[in-house]
Amino acid sequence: MKNAILITGGSGFIGSNFIHHMRRTHPQLELINLDILSYSGNPDNLKALKDDSHYRFVQGDIADGALVKALLEQNRVVSVVHFAAESHVDRSILEAGAFVQTNVVGTHVLLENARQYWVETLSRDSSFRFVHISTDEIYGTLGDDGFFSEESPFRPNSPYAATKAAADLLVRAYFETYRLPTLIARPSNNYGPYQFPEKFIPLMITNLMEDSPLPIYGRGINVRDWIFVGDACRAVDLIMHQGVPGTAYNVGGETEKRNIDVAQELLAMFSKDESCLSFVEDRPGHDLRYALNNRKIKDELGWKPTVPFLEGIEQTVAWYKANEWWWKPLKERLTSESRGFWTKS
């Protein structure tokens, strides 16, 4: 395999959608998916590519420097797109150490091996790109108005968000210190096919399909900016190919909704009423509101979200209805873990 893109965490939710996007839009590119297959990494997300000669799966840890070095050198990797992360806030509250190891240490290992490869093998080829997928959660929380820009200070309020902020700073430092051509995408809350069923929207959908209560934190007033995963994948593709090295880009869906509003829209789609709602104790450090200013990516790269929330949520519901084989075993496994996540949103 030559002139390949190394995609970390490609068996997860956004990573697998990105791989499908790249196979549709850039069929000539070779794609290598490096994924450790932790609890949320699912080979079934990419089952359709099992016999695709332009796709290769490698099971391994991004913190394994020898493996990362070999994959870069043996495949003439021209870009790294780094999705791999521990990402569930509730889990980070209970097990922060795993988040530090993957999100901080793992990102450093990738950066350092990419830097050495870029200098020693590619001879500082200016077309090489290292794209880090971050999150709007690094900015912390907003009040009732205003938006986060790329220049907003980092004020993370959960161990997950703190480790992603640390990774962002490492990526920035590798550009400023070594001139490694890094870029950062900071998307808002993604939803769509293949999302692990402990996350808010797929949990609501699958619980409705199972006639189970919908757990809502607090009073359900926390606001998130929702983006359909296909729009986010288009943005990452553009950032990789056209973004300016050293730059971070917000990728917001421009669709702010309270958790209770999302739940009510889903109730209506399933012809159910609010008796299905179950309000539970709020989690510690729960950010009130996220909202992103998209001006930079719109002005510089011409990107904007194209899938309205209602259209995207209808597509998502249809996908989960058509793919019970995919999510039912995952929910059964999570329930057997008895970790308490099913009382959380």
- pLDDT for residue 287: 84
Going from N- to C-terminal start, the domains of the chain cover: 4-191+226-251
- State how far the Cα of 298 lies from the Cα of 149, in Å rounded to an integer: 13
- pLDDT for residue 245: 98
Sequential pLDDT tens for the chain (345 residues): 568 999 999 999 999 999 999 999 999 999 999 999 987 889 999 999 999 999 999 999 999 999 999 999 999 999 999 999 987 787 888 889 999 999 999 999 999 999 999 999 999 999 999 999 999 999 999 988 899 999 999 999 999 999 999 999 999 999 999 999 999 999 999 999 999 998 999 999 999 999 999 999 999 999 999 999 999 999 999 999 999 999 999 999 999 999 999 999 999 999 999 999 999 988 888 888 999 999 999 999 999 999 999 999 999 999 999 999 999 999 988 765 544 443 333
Q: The tokens 């900016």 sit on which residue?
A: 225
DSSP string for 128-168: -EEEEE--GGGG----SS--B-TTSPP---SHHHHHHHHHH
- pLDDT for residue 341: 43
Q: What is the CATH number of domain 4-191+226-251?
A: 3.40.50.720
Cα–Cα–Cα angle for 118, 134, 136, nearest 5°?
155
Whether the Cβ atoms of residue 238 and residue 129 lie closer than 8 Å to each other = no
- State how far the Cα of 67 lies from the Cα of 34, in Å rounded to an integer: 10
- State how far the Cα of 135 lies from the Cα of 148, in Å rounded to an integer: 12
Catalytic residue IDs: 136-137, 160
- pLDDT for residue 335: 67
Q: SS3 breakdown of the chain: % helix, strand, coil, rounded to 5?
A: 45, 20, 35
Tokens of 170: 């490492």
